[in-house]
Amino acid sequence: MQPSKNIKDLIAIMAALRTPGTGCPWDLEQSFETIAPYTIEEAYEVVDAIERGDISDLRDELGDLLLQVVFHARLAEEQGSFQFDDVVHAITTKLIRRHPHVFGHLKELKPDAVKALWAEIKSQEKAEKLAEKRAAGIGADPAASSILADIPHNLPALIRAEKLQSKASKVGFDWHSAHLVLDKIREETNEIEEALAKNDAKNIEEEIGDLLFVVANLARHLSVNPEDALRKENLKFIRRFNYIEENIKALDNDIKSASLEEMERFWNEARQADKLKI
């Protein structure tokens, strides 16, 4: 087997890895459930390469993500459910159906009209899929018909919170302005203080959850992606903390023995440096 640019060769390699007796012992042990965390991890590594502007890494990470798709398709093929070709057929069908303004009779639509049309087609697809499942005796749960039902459970909590709120807002369940959301944030911080005063661990956790959920809603109202905002804040924290470590090391000191006052001084220097870059 040689490296190749042909997707069929990648599928063949995956099949070889999963062949009992001659394949890879680790690959043979895997299932949808055990591979799922790697799928999520690879998607995040794609995003990381994009944010770092590393095109070489992006190429490699996209390959790793593609492998996850091929792996899941192989697992499905082995149990007789579907093949990789069926995955391709499903997505091409969906793209053609959702773009009648490109592949059909609807031409020259403006962006707002395209967005509305996309939502309408997705709603039709959801209704059809639900009807198919009910006909097959699947999905009898009343929650399956909820407008929130198609939001994946395994999304990162912050992303899922934003998507849940966005869906609910489409039927009018929403605050009318960001200022009202800010009022709610103040209310939630007060409730955290009350929970702290009672030293109620369960209530503290619940109130912090409420606060995070409302902050995600504020981000949505201000057209800010909360996951992106927090990821950038994480990177900023790392950069500033690295500055603290480097400067304490330059003084021949150990970060573990440094005083809080020392660390705060270098932290403020890092903050000031960030402001000068803006």
Write the CA distances from 119 to 70, 98, 109, 122, 186, integer angstroms. 29, 9, 14, 5, 34
Calculate the dihedral angle through the C-alpha atoms of 59, 64, 66, 69, rounding to the nearest 10 degrees.
-170
**Tens digits of residue pLDDT in 217-240:** 999 999 999 988 998 899 899 999
29-45 confidence digits (pLDDT tens): 999 999 998 998 999 89
pLDDT for 209 equals: 95
pLDDT band of residue 204 (cuts 50, 70, 90) is: very high
| CATH class name, domain 1-98 | mainly alpha
Percent of the chain predicted with pLDDT > 90: 64
Chain segment 129-155, per-residue pLDDT in tens: 777 777 777 655 556 667 887 788 878
d(CA 54, CA 277): 22
pLDDT value of residue 277: 75
Q: What angle do CA 197, 198, 204 make, to 5 degrees?
A: 90
Residue among 13, 68, 28 at smallest CA distance from 46: 68
Q: Give per-residue pLDDT as tens, 45-85.
A: 998 899 889 999 999 999 999 999 999 999 999 999 999 99
Does the pLDDT of residue 266 top 60, yes or no? yes
Domain boundaries 157-224, corresponding CATH code: 1.10.287.1080
| Arithmetic mean of pLDDT, 89-115 | 85
**pLDDT, position 112:** 80
What pLDDT score does 46 carry? 94
Q: Within a 13 Å sphere around the CA of 200, how many CA atoms are in the beta-carbon half? A: 13
Which are the contacts of 101, defined by CB distance < 8 A and separation ≥ 6? 107, 108, 109, 114, 117
Chain centroid to Cα 128, Å, comes to 26
Greatest extent of the chain over all pairs of C-alpha atoms, in Å:
72
Give the pLDDT band of residue 123 (cuts 50, 70, 90): confident
pLDDT at 136: 73
